[in-house]
Structure 1
């Protein structure tokens, strides 16, 4: 009997996964150059791009020539390498397929697991910031926050983060619906509160995070951070919530750093360039 040829597609998943996948070394090197260019977030000349990829220019150059031929790279007027038309088309396809809330799901789960805190995800709905995902901690919080809850732009950290980054006309329209924002305030109080509110939004833009300490719910504190899309527009706000006094609520504390890291990863996933990258790019 002749030996049969094994169809690898019918192998058990575990046996297929245990075998190392053999790739093409030259393509791996090409990938290192592309990865280095993405990390730089700006056009690079041959010497700098090769150095960033950890290879000699003479080795990098043939790979770059091939990338130019197929359109994954192009060269600007100064001869620096940058994304080509094929790379831009592939990027647009990827962006079109992205669903921010779906892509954020693993981050929400990981945040809750790594911090042992409750995590909320909100988007901007027609009535205001709306909770679309809530991952509760092992010790659930006794709050009225539920999926579908619409939050105040003035009295909640999630709402203020949205207010800090949306366009002025959008903010004004949403504030007109925020019926609890200045309830019972006199004319002088309203002016003072508006000034304080504007200053608070400025701090959020500077810090990239907002806090709500036992407000609006006594005994519950919140940290909230924005997630941006490829246009730089805010698309999601992630928030950590826990009993007041049970975690570090400072903007420089470990929970805040963990939250910022998660929001930054998602923003990068959605195609947003960090301010540092934009500044570096403009200096070249």
Structure 2
């Protein structure tokens, strides 16, 4: 520290920040690996000489951020790194983090945007920003959307474990068979079979998003995309709602790009890796199986 004497405080602080940033190159190299790495590989990934990387690793091992395998000599993330990650996860609040993304998405598209979480009755809206182009239709907080015929629901149908959606799915199938009329047919397609559901799942997985037209109100369309957490599990769905005429043509692509950018960014803030988020779009779909019907009394 003797060399720091006589240096302005601002210059000394800036050099210390740069040192931390360099050190994080070593941490990121270990985080991106599938297991402990030899010193030479960590140094190469961090873009520095092995001697320099070793100095950082010695300090990280001492503080528990990294560990060194006594047999192979390889380095990996240590117990404190795990504790730090778990602490960060505990402090995450998807609803709070999504507020900024919803507002940004609304400004970019002009459409209403909302965030939905999964509940025992299906996907419910927990946060929203009204749009300039939404016309007379306004979604309300707490509203539970259909699982099979709404874009929001179809995203949860695709990425949630089948056992979590089974009861709601079977209730909606039973209702569709019982109540389907010419009036409801004009609003939403008839979805009553495993084959119908499988087609939805395959389409959403292939595209990475769902789009429905006239599902809850005539002349309106919605586009929804998933939000994942650190375990690559879906935790929420972000949706854009607007006129079916406005959500078509070039404007659809612009809106979709903005939506996917927002959901990917929010997923990464929740700990999902960019590789994991993109990979979800290409997963092989699991066949939907019929489940035992559950009474809808009291819903």
Give the TM-score normalised by the residue count of structure 1: 0.78
Gaps of 5+ in 2: 1-9, 182-188, 281-299
Do 1:213 and 1:221's aligned partners in 2 also have CA atoms closer than 8 Å?
yes
Q: CA deviation at 1:247?
A: 3.6
Q: Which residue of 2 aligns with 1:275?
A: 276
Q: Counterparts of 2:12 and 2:243 in 1: how far apart (Å)? A: 47
**Residue in 2 aligned with 1:260?**
260
For 1:27 and 1:83, the matched residues in 2 are separated by 17
Structure 2 match to 1:147 = 141
Secondary structure, in 3 states, of the residue corresponding to 1:145?
coil
Q: What CA deviation, in whole Å up to 9, does each residue of 1:11-64 have, x standing for no partner?
A: xxxxxxx999635143332123223444x3534443333233332222222111
TM-score (normalizing by structure 2): 0.75
The one of 28, 34, 46 aligned to 1:42: 34
- Corresponding position: 1:205 with 2:205: yes
* Aligned 8 A contact 1:123 1:131 in 2: yes
Contact 2:103 2:129 in 1 (8 A): yes
Q: Distance in 2 between matches of 1:122 and 1:262?
A: 14
Equivalent position of 1:138 in the other structure:
132
Question: 1:3-82 to 2 correspondence within 5 Å?
Answer: 22-24=14-16, 25-38=18-31, 40=32, 42-43=34-35, 44-75=37-68, 79-82=73-76
Give me the whole-angstrom Cα distance separating, in 1, the residues matched to 2:153 and 2:223. Answer: 11
> Per the alignment, do residues 278 and 218 of structure 1 end up closer, same or farther by CA in structure 2, a change over 3 Å counting?
closer
For residues 177-219 of structure 1, what are the alpha-carbon distances to aligned partners after superposition, in whole Å with 9 as ceiling and x for unaligned?
A: 4364444469xx9896431222211221232211113333222
Residue 173 (1) aligns with residue 174 (2): no
Q: Secondary structure at the match of 1:22?
A: helix
CA distance in 2, matches of 1:58, 1:181: 68
Is 1:97 the counterpart of 2:86? The answer is no
Structure 1: segments with no counterpart, 5+ residues: 1-17, 280-284
Q: Distance in 2 between matches of 1:45 and 1:146?
A: 54
Q: Are residues 1:126 and 2:127 paired?
A: no
* Aligned residues of 2:145 and 2:153 also touching (Cα < 8 A): yes
